[in-house]
Amino acid sequence: MNHRVVVTGMGVVSPLGNTIDMFADNLFAGRSGVGKISLFDVGELPVQIAAEVKEPVAGGFRDRKIGFAMEAARQSLAEFEPNDSQEKLGDESGLSIGIGLEVLEMNDLIQMPDRTEALETMPYEQRLSFLQTPSDLCAHALSHRYGLQTPPLVCVSACAAGADAIGTAFHMIRSGRRRWMLCGGSDSMINPLGIGGFCKLRALSCQNQAPEKASRPFDADRDGFVLGEGAGMLVLERLDTALSRKATIHAEIVGYGSSLDAHGISEPHPDGRGAAQAMSAAIDDAGQTPETVDCINAHGSSTPKNDVMETLAIRSLFADHADRMPVVSTKSMIGHLIAASGAVEVIAAILGLQRQVLHPTINLSNPDPACDLDYVPGRARSHRHENVLCNSFGFGGQNASLLLRRWQ
């Protein structure tokens, strides 16, 4: 028996704000979260802009992405009483998270002997920040905080990780293996290694003089993505469980698809073959047809190759329906949150379903002739829609798509 799966909790930490309300207000107003880098001295780096999280988060974690994940999870689980969390979460719960790379600094290696001896006396949160691998860091902290005793599922599929984590949780619940799950993604690569590495790949925008205009998906003047940071966490659960406890239902997840280009390390397949396969798989998973999709929250990264590829993939799958289907890019405002992007963009899509409004794709002032869809440029738009498809396409050709349905 397949169970219906709904979203009953959401939490966000983002360049547009650290609450759902603040994130939504800035999102639909079309405000940019991009600015000059303040987290470290950029020196002579060619890229000096990023979409930073402006407000501090509690927890004392040295690794920003752990703190982001913990805060977003706290928000998403707010309807659970803290004293009852262990009982309510139980062994029918689970965790699925997409996570980014762990940055090991040279100073960590130098101090390793002294820090190893001090481990036994360190507070728990500090021990979590001591030289662990990216595959267990956030998962361990979240599981410990909320008593999640089932094995965590960790996705490390680059820019598709957050979406893959949500899709994996969706399938676990639909199949009856879990009753509810905490899922999403968290990442922070705004550091010298992260910025420097992407500079080497020539993947980042160099529009340092106008940071708020640097992320410009589908625009002819785009020159790369803007690195962002943050986290998005969701509570997914069986519909019958949500109804029995009279939970607030935000949306329904109805389909998930993934694929691999098997083409290149950092560039997508030029024809969008893998992207189209992921979108098609998500629609098939929901038992629907392409014509039932009302709009798309695109990967829309603002890189020259990706935006053209995604446009071609949409046209190849949706044919004439592509001309009637708006496509938006959340990254135009928050930059690229890497492993967290898919989760935060799913939250953006859910907010649009609830309001029946599409947020804008900002900075689209000079459309690229090769990107010829309706990208909702400049301003938010009222739009009746029941189904929205969310795309996340990662480095290495890792693709994930999620199909969401409005709850009413």
pLDDT value at residue 104 = 52
Across residues 66-79, what is the average pLDDT? Answer: 93
**CATH number of 400's domain:** 3.40.47.10
How many domains is the chain built from? 1
Q: Over the stretch 301-320, which tens digit does the pLDDT of each residue have?
A: 999 999 999 999 999 999 99
Lowest mean pLDDT, pick from 99-103, 207-211, 365-369: 99-103
| Residues with Cβ within 8 Å of residue 387, at least 6 apart in sequence | 254, 288, 292, 293, 294, 403, 404, 405, 406
Q: Where in the sequence is the domain holding 76, given as residue range(s)?
A: 5-406
pLDDT value at residue 125 = 53
**If we measure between CA atoms, which residue out of 188, 237, 221, 191 comes closest to residue 336?**
188
Look at strands 398-406 and 327-328 and give their pairing.
unpaired
pLDDT band at residue 293 under the 50/70/90 scheme: very high
Across residues 119-142, what is the average pLDDT? Answer: 62
Q: Where are the alpha helices (DSSP H) in 2-105?
A: 20-29, 64-76, 85-89
pLDDT value at residue 21 = 98
The residues carrying an active-site annotation are 159, 299, 336
Burial 259-272 (b: 16+ CB within 10 A, else e): bbbeeeeebbbeeb
SS3 156: coil
From CA 205, how far away is CA 203, in angstroms rounded?
7
**If we measure between CA atoms, which residue out of 69, 72, 73, 79 comes closest to residue 8?**
79
Q: Over the stretch 140-186, which tens digit does the pLDDT of each residue have?
A: 889 988 888 888 999 989 999 999 999 999 999 999 999 999 999 99
Decide: 238 and 179 in contact? Cβ < 8 Å. yes
Is 81's pLDDT higher than 60?
A: no
Single pTM value for the model: 0.93
- Angstrom CA distances, 72 to 69, 152, 166, 235, 387, stand at 5, 17, 14, 11, 25
pLDDT value at residue 373 = 98
Handedness of CA 105, 109, 114, 115 (dihedral sign): positive
Across residues 25-41, what is the average pLDDT? Answer: 97
Q: Over the stretch 173-216, which tens digit does the pLDDT of each residue have?
A: 999 999 999 999 999 999 998 999 999 889 999 999 999 999 99
* Tokens read off for 167: 């899709």
Mean pLDDT of the chain: 90
